[in-house]
Amino acid sequence: MTADQELQVIVQQGKEPNPTVQDERNSVSSSQTEVSRSNTYKRWLRVSLYTFFVISGQTVATILGRLYYDNGGNSKWLATVVQLVGFPVLLPYYLMSIKTHATTHRDGKRTSPRNRVLVYVVLGLLVGADCYLYSIGLLYLPVSTYSLICASQLAFNAFFSYFLNSQKLTPIILNSLFLLTISSTLLAFNNEESNSTKVTKGEYVKGFICTVAASAGYGLVLSLQQLAFLKVLKRQTFSEVMDMIIYVSLVASGVSVVGLFASSEWKTLSSEMENYKPGKVSYIMNLVWTAVTWQVFSIGGTGLIFELSSLFSNAISVLGLPVVPILAVIIFHDKMNGLKVISMILAIWGFTSYVYQQYLDDKNLKKSHGITTTKSPDPPEAEESSWQSK
């Protein structure tokens, strides 16, 4: 009889959970949820900040670049140099902030110096060439047309991300890419006359081709950056993001400086400064702030790649699309004809389609996490196995 009573006590203990243990489980689960929410808020705060950097930096830098040409500047290589050479302004921030950023992921094997240098050199060469193509496009095209063509970089980025980053091309993404491609293609048939009488039809075509090629190059660079983070560098830290910006900019700046001297454009810079319409001080300030704002854009773009993906980073840069043409109409008196309006509408539609796909992906991700959370405790099976082991 005593043995039966002991057996009943053991069975009841197996069925009734210990209140202390259950409270501890609830406390741990609650704290984990709070930490997860806190990390999510901080992450999206960083994403919002990087987004602001991309849009504001790109818009201001593009406007300043066009002002340089309109006021008497004519050096394509100098316009390329100022896009890249501003990276030293990041060094104080880098040195002060690196100690406060902990590693979020660390691989056991460190990347060899040879592979690291190879990544920076290849990306630096591509960025240098890409910036030169952008400088040619901005010289020969109205800034509104130039910015609308740049929207095609999202389509090129998606194409390269499909092969290099295993990016899924859903029907909504394909619709977005189709609209963006059509938006840029329409501008090839634009018969507007440039504000500058010096630009011939041949130069306009040259500017169009160079801008499309630069957009393709930029899409490739973003995909290669994401591939480098995942496959080569293998460490997703603040220092890796800053190293990517600084060393790639260093290599690209070297390429652009060599191009400046090899093309002999440096010989005309003194007379260019003398003849600059607003004066020497405005000439210098234009170059300085163009360099600074491009670095702000670079921080935002690389940060978005680090936090999300290269395709999202490119989509955010396209988000600033309507801003530049509107400012161009106000500042430079560019003509906003019907073809440009249709192109802008298609580009915004394409971007909206992409954002909607991102919303669906995020919603599905939250659902999958919710399913995992509800299944993980599974107390009945755990209690049964525990009782059987006794």
Average pLDDT over residues 276-292: 93
Residue 295 has pLDDT above 80, yes or no: yes
Using pLDDT thresholds of 50, 70 and 90, give the confidence band for residue 36.
low
How many Cβ atoms are within 10 Å of 4's Cβ, its own excluded? 8
Question: Which segment of 50-54, 128-132, 161-165, 313-317 scores lowest on mean pLDDT?
Answer: 313-317
Structural domain for 322, as ranges: 45-96+112-190+200-368
Tokens linked to 128 = 């240098």
The pLDDT of residue 236 is above 80: no
Res. 190: pLDDT tops 90:
no
Cβ-based neighbours of 150, under 8 Å, separated by 6 or more: 211, 214, 215, 317, 318, 321
Q: Is residue 91 part of a domain?
A: yes
Residue 383 has pLDDT above 60, yes or no: no
Residue 316 lies in a domain: yes
Look at residue 358 and tell me if it is in a domain.
yes
pLDDT at 385 over 60: no
pLDDT in the model for residue 371: 45
> Can you say how many angstroms the Cα of residue 387 is from the centroid of all Cα atoms in its chain?
54
- What is the pLDDT at residue 97? 62
Report yes or no: 332 and 122 within 8 Å, Cβ to Cβ. Answer: no
Return the C-alpha torsion angle 178, 184, 186, 192, nearest 10. 170
pLDDT value for 138: 92
Q: What is the dihedral of CA 228, 308, 310, 166, to 10 degrees?
A: 70
Residue type, 262: A
Q: pTM above 0.85? A: no
Res. 313 pLDDT band, cuts 50 70 90: confident
Report yes or no on 107 lying in a domain: no
- pLDDT value for 381: 38
Is residue 265 situated within a structural domain?
yes
Q: Does residue 38 fall inside a structural domain? A: no
Give residue 264's region: left, alpha or beta (phi > 0; psi -120 to 50).
left
Instruction: State the Cα–Cα distance between residues 47 and 25, nearest whole angstrom.
Output: 33
Q: What is the pLDDT of residue 284?
A: 94
Residue pointed to by tokens 């048939």: 189
Dig out the tokens for 149 from the structure: 């063509």
Locate 286 and state its tokens: 């234009």
- Model confidence at 98, pLDDT cuts 50, 70, 90, reads low
Token pair recorded at residue 186: 């329409």
Q: Is the pLDDT of residue 321 over 70?
A: no
Give residue 18's pLDDT. 55
Tell me, what's the pLDDT at 9?
46
pLDDT of res. 282: 93
Q: What percentage of the chain reaches a pLDDT higher than 90?
A: 27
User: Higher model confidence: residue 286 or residue 188?
Assistant: 286
pLDDT in the model for residue 55? 87
Q: How many domains, the chain?
A: 1
Kindly state the average pLDDT of the residues 128-148: 90
Please tell me the predicted confidence (pLDDT) of residue 124: 95
Distance CA 303, CA 52 (A): 11
The helix/strand/coil state of 145 is helix
Q: Is residue 18 part of a domain?
A: no
Structure tokens at 96: 């002060």
207 vs 24, residue with greater confidence: 207
| Mean pLDDT, all residues of the chain | 78
**Residue predicted with more confidence, 74 or 39:** 74
**What is the C-alpha separation between 44 and 233, in angstroms, rounded?**
24
Tell me the per-residue pLDDT of 255-265, one tens digit each, with 9 for 90 and over.
Answer: 999 999 999 99
Residue 29 lies in a domain: no
In terms of DSSP H, where are the helices of the chain? 2-15, 19-70, 76-84, 91-97, 113-140, 143-149, 153-164, 171-186, 201-227, 238-262, 269-274, 280-307, 310-319, 323-331, 338-375, 379-389
Looking at residue 242, what is its pLDDT? Answer: 81
Q: How confident is the model at residue 361 (pLDDT cuts 50, 70, 90)?
A: confident
Range among 306-310, 367-371, 378-382 with highest mean pLDDT value:
306-310
Q: Which residues of 101-110 are buried (b: 16+ CB within 10 A; e: fewer)?
A: eeeeeeeeee
The rounded distance, in Å, linking the Cα atoms of 142 and 332 is: 9
